[in-house]
Structure 1
């Protein structure tokens, strides 16, 4: 890990790289994430989505535990077949991560390959204060869809359609 010579504080990108390598390791995350950090998973608030993905939504000032709980649940409900970081870069306190993953639901055996993006804020002490994780939620929730269709109307002039 490259550090700033005078302060010995890891760079924000180093902090986020280490966080992603240790998403369920409480000892590491307690060291990397402030106790009052906010974690946003997939959306700010969507009760319907939370029924399928219980960790979804804003976890205001809950610190590392929200991240640990999310990734523990992800590992419980899906088999992680691939998780690839394609780009990770930062500017000041902001770090952006882009990549893709393939998860297979443990209940139905359906797989989804999705792009993902992460935005983190890392303070001057090398601690994550904010993390937001986004993915293709329609694709990932469909790995748990057993049967049935949803009806949608996007353009009224084109009528409804089913998925």
Structure 2
């Protein structure tokens, strides 16, 4: 996720969910700024609903209640990775929601590993405020930017074959 997201879509109306989401993305690490665009019962879902192992690697992963979770995610992502590229490829909205799709390239700050991932953001809200935001990415890729060593032996194919990654 990048604080400097720009859409190629036509400008949304001032209080539309897409316009609100774009406003948040313009300054996502400022809690007071973001709070003006979220409801008191705001929920942010990052990467999954709840996964304790992933949360050990990416502390922001899971369901977060309150605007603080969204803002802290942007702060932490900026600490864990350098954003090399962030491209919005498309966006859609309806009366009560919006979606943004794109890709990003991050380089991990500790190991210097670079990854590129697609992303999708779903936002729900009305009356100029968002009540729900969900962010999805290729978490397998982003977590691998932290992997220093080791292999996984994967047994997923029903034909019995194995893959090492």
Q: Secondary structure, in 3 states, of the residue corresponding to 2:159?
A: helix
Q: How does 1:1-163 map to 2 (within 5 A)?
A: 3=13, 10-59=15-64, 62-123=65-126, 125-163=127-165
Q: CA deviation at 1:89?
A: 1.8
Residue pair 2:105, 2:115 contacting (<8 A) in 1 also: yes
Distance 2:12 2:117 in 1: 31
Residue-pair matches, total: 155
Further displaced range: 17-26 or 109-118: 17-26
Distance 2:61 2:40 in 1: 20
Distance 1:147 1:113 in 2: 20
Q: Flag the 1:109–1:17 CA change in 2: closer, same or farther, 3 A.
A: same
Q: Higher RCO, 1 or 2 (CA under 8 Å, sep at least 6)?
A: 2
Q: Secondary structure, in 3 states, of the residue corresponding to 1:72?
A: helix
Residue pair 2:46, 2:60 contacting (<8 A) in 1 also: yes
Gap regions ≥5 residues in structure 2: 1-10
Runs of 4 or more consecutive aligned structure 1 residues displaced over 6 Å after TM superposition: none
Q: Secondary structure, in 3 states, of the residue corresponding to 1:140?
A: helix
Q: CA deviation at 1:83?
A: 1.2
Q: CA deviation at 1:19?
A: 1.0
Residue pair 2:12, 2:18 contacting (<8 A) in 1 also: no
Q: Paired residue for 2:6?
A: none
Distance 2:92 2:23 in 1: 14
Q: Secondary structure, in 3 states, of the residue corresponding to 1:69?
A: helix
The superposition leaves residues 3-43 of structure 1 with CA deviations (integer Å, 9 ceiling, x where unpaired) of 5xxxxx62221111111111111121010011211110000
Higher CA-based Rg:
1
